[in-house]
Amino acid sequence: MATQNLSPALPTSARSAPYPKASPGYGKRAVPDQRPPTADDFAFLPERERYIAGYVDRLPDGAAMSIKSLAKCQPLYGQMAVGSALRALAVAGHLRQVRCAVDGGEGIRWVTRTFWSRTARDNEWWTAFLAAEESRCAPQPVEPAATDAAEAPASAPVLPKQRTEEPQGPSPAYLVLAGLGRTDARLALSAADCAVLEQLADQWFARGVDADYLTRALTAGLPEAVDSPVGFVRRRLRDKLPPQLPAPAAQAAPARHLMIECADCGAVGRPEVFRDGLCGPCLRSAQGSAPVEESRAACDVMVHVQRLREQLTMRG
């Protein structure tokens, strides 16, 4: 077991650039009910993790939490080191990265948020917190402003309705029938024939086909001679009528409004099936495939986690 490092959290030196703000809805979110910061925060973490934790803890809510942003705005560690530190901090119980469904009035979109806790929390606490957070971030339909809409009709003058007889053009079904003779002379129909067959052709449009589809269905594979165009078209309209398809189901809202991201591979899933911020496969392979330096850091983090759980057991 690696030796515990009881030195206080390293001070974060001057940043090379101002911290970037995340896009609206994204970024850091500090969890509630945290104790005030102290000098020995993160004292049981390895040196790199203490530094990154101290830096993240000082960022305001809404700050960008991507690996690239954190690596750019602090001078000591690059992207690979920052990524490893964030994974260790998730295992230690200080953060969870989640995807939340939000409704900004133009449809549901998913945003990535990083919930941060200065106090390390165990899996049970995070599961309960994220379950409550899911109900808070559930998309709410954007209701139109009823006041303005109601006032507009009330203030508009009421005018008497005027009867206007607008001439109606031929239906799409009639136009297809009238154009058959131009597509193939063997199916030339008279105006009376089109009027007789119009209702049958209109059934095709009612079942979702368009004019091109109907024309192809009526003119494909014609015999060498058509003795009665009106009888031939009538038979095809009846015999080849397409099936009635059910109306498309309305898109259901997502069953869940919050999904957790694995701190290692980025896979998403329900918070209750993750442990220490890791999905099952990453949790099983966390020790075996890591380099020696990473294994030592992981061991120090696990010491921190074990100490946290012992403290919680004693309090209970």
pLDDT digits (tens, 9 = 90+) for 187-241: 999 999 999 999 999 999 988 888 999 999 999 999 999 999 999 999 999 999 9
Give the closest residue to 120 by CA, choosing from 59, 27, 43, 48.
Answer: 43
In terms of average pLDDT, the best of 28-37, 99-108, 195-204, 305-314 is 195-204
Per-residue pLDDT band at 84 (split at 50, 70, 90): very high
Ranges of each domain in the chain: 27-139+257-315, 172-239
Got the DSSP string for 172-200?
Answer: HHHHHHHHHHHH-GGG---HHHHHHHHHH
What are the C-alpha distances in Å from 127 to residues 102, 115, 137, 147, 167? 20, 12, 15, 41, 66
Query: What residue type is 270 in one-letter code?
Result: R
Task: Please count the CA atoms within 13 angstroms of the CA of 302 that sit on its side-chain side.
Answer: 12
Beta-strand runs (E) in the chain: 27-30, 95-103, 108-116, 258-261, 268-269
Question: What's the pLDDT score for residue 110?
Answer: 83
Per-residue pLDDT band at 289 (split at 50, 70, 90): low
And the tokens for 172?
Answer: 């799409």
> How does pLDDT run across 95-106, given as a tens digit for each residue?
999 988 877 666
